[in-house]
Amino acid sequence: MQPRKVTTALAVLGIFAGALTAAHALPTANAQNAPAVAAPTVRAAQLPDFAAIVQQYGPAVVNITTAGTRRAAASAGQVPSPEFFRGAPQPEVPTQGQGSGFIISAEGIVLTNAHVVQGAGEITVKLTDRREFRARLLGTDAATDVAVLRVDAANLPVVRLGNPARARVGDWVLAIGSPFGFENSVTAGIVSAKGRSLPGDAYVPFIQTDVAVNPGNSGGPLFSLNGEVIGINSQIYSRSGGYQGLSFAIPIDVVLRVKDQIVATGRASHARLGINVQTLNQALADAFGLERAAGGLIASVAPGSPAEKAGLQPGDVVLEFNGRPVADSGQLAGMVGESKPGDRARVEVWRKGKKLEFVATLGATPDAATPSAAVDAPAGEGRLGLAVRPLTPQERKAAHVTGGLLVQGVNGAASRAGMAAGDIVLQAGGKPVGSVEELRAATQSAKTVALLVQRGTRRLFVPLLAG
C-alpha cells in the first residue's frame, strides 16, 4: 500500500447525539426529609456548522487546471524511424491536469501542491464565481510538495490561516476541493493523528485525517471548525488509488515557511544535520539502557556534516532537538526540516548511559545548494525519466566514489526499470558520468541504455528502455 498524492474535496458528514437522563429514587421513609436532587443530564452535543464555513471561505478555494506537453513514446509494436535511433526529438503530445488551491492574499497569492503544477506550461485558476485567471508560478518545493502561484487580480476572497498545533486528535475538520473535477466539493471528518512521517517526505509532519480525499483534491485546504486553514490536503494511503479513510495534510505552518522563502527568493531551502536515523524499538532501547523506546537512533553520521562537527556519533539516541522531545526518527527529521540553514540547534542525546548536549550549526540540504536537473525533458520526464544532479564532495566521499549523479526523481522508463531516488548513476553505456550533460551525451542515440548504478553499498547494471 503506497501513499498517493491527490487533491481534496469533501462530502458532508453528520453525527447525532441525544440527551441522556438518569434519576435515583429515594427510599420512601427518607423522602420527606431529603433535599430535592436534580436528575443529572448530559447535554446534547452541538453539531458542527459546516455550512457556515463553506459559505464564508468557500469562495477563496480555487480549481487549478494545467496544460503542457511531453514527448511521446513509441507505442508497443511500433518500429522507430531512423531519426529515432539517431536521437531525434519525438513528437510533443499535449497533457492536462487539475487540482485545487486556495487564496491567501487579496492581491493574488495562491497556495497548492507542487505535484499539481509539476511540468505545467500553462496554469489556470478558476474561482467559484466562474472568473478565470492565468497564474504565474512563483516557485515550488519538492521536499514539502508546496507550490506558490500569483494571479493578476485584486480584492480577491481569502481564507483565514490557523495554528495546526491547536488541532487535537478527534477534532472535526473540513476540506474543500475538486475531486475528479467536481469543483468545490465539500467533505468532512476528524483528525486521526498528528506528526505522521511518510516514506520520502522527511520534512513534513503530516496531519492524518479520515476526510474523503480523491484525485483532483490535491492542494485544497483543510479547515478547522473555527474556519481556519490548518493544512493542505496532499496525499492518501490507498490500495486502489482511491480514498480508503487515510488522508494526509501538510501543516499550514510548514507551508507558510516555504511560501515566505519562495516569495522572497523564488526557491526554498531546508536545514541539514547530516545524520541517518532509525526507529528505536523496545529491544534497542533496552540495549542502550533507555527506559522507553523514544528518540531517534543515529545509525550513521555524514563525514564533514554539521553533526560530525558538533560531536554526534553513531549509536547516540537523540532525545531532544532545540528543547523539544523527540518521539521517533520521523519526528526528528521534521524538526530539522523546520529549521533554516545556519541555525544553531541544541541536540540532547543519550550516550553510554548519560545525557549529553551538543550544539550544531545546521547546513543546507544538497538539493538546496545544487538544484537538480531533469534529463532530456522538463520535470524529469522524457526518454529516461530521471531527475539527477551531481554529487557534492561530501556525498562522493561518503559513497566512496569519485563521480556520479544522484537520482532525485524517477518516472517513465526509469520507474519501470526499478530505479529509485537515492540511486547513484556511475556509468551510462560504459562511460563514466559526472554531469547531466555527460549523461545526455552518453544516452542520446541509444534506445536501450545500460546504467551502472550504486545503491547503498551494492552496484548493479540497470537496463533502461528509453521512452
Tell me how crowded residue 12 is: count the other CB atoms within 10 A of its CB. 13
Calculate Rg over the CA atoms of the chain: 26
145 is catalytic: yes
**Which runs of E-coded beta strand occur in 262-321?**
271-272, 275-279, 296-301, 317-321
Type of residue at 116: V
Residue tagged 537512533 (cell numbers):
297
Task: Sort strands 132-141 and 373-374 into parallel, antiparallel or unpaired.
Answer: unpaired
- From the candidates 100, 192, 218, 339, give the one annotated as an active-site residue: 218
CA angle 312, 316, 318 (to 5 degrees): 90
Residue showing cell 485544497: 220
d(CA 149, CA 178): 18
The x, y and z cell numbers of residue 414, run together, are 526509469
Q: What's the rounded Cα separation, in Å, for the pair 409 and 415? A: 9
* Cα→Cα distances 450→155, 364, 381, 414, 415, Å: 56, 33, 18, 11, 15
CA distance 405 to 273: 22
218 catalytically annotated? yes
Residue from 100, 141, 145, 234 carrying the catalytic annotation: 145
Cβ 435 vs Cβ 390: under 8 Å: yes
Lookup result for grid cell 552518453:
442
Alpha carbon distance 42, 34 (integer Å)? 24
Q: Determine the length of the chain.
A: 467
Active site residues: 115, 145, 218
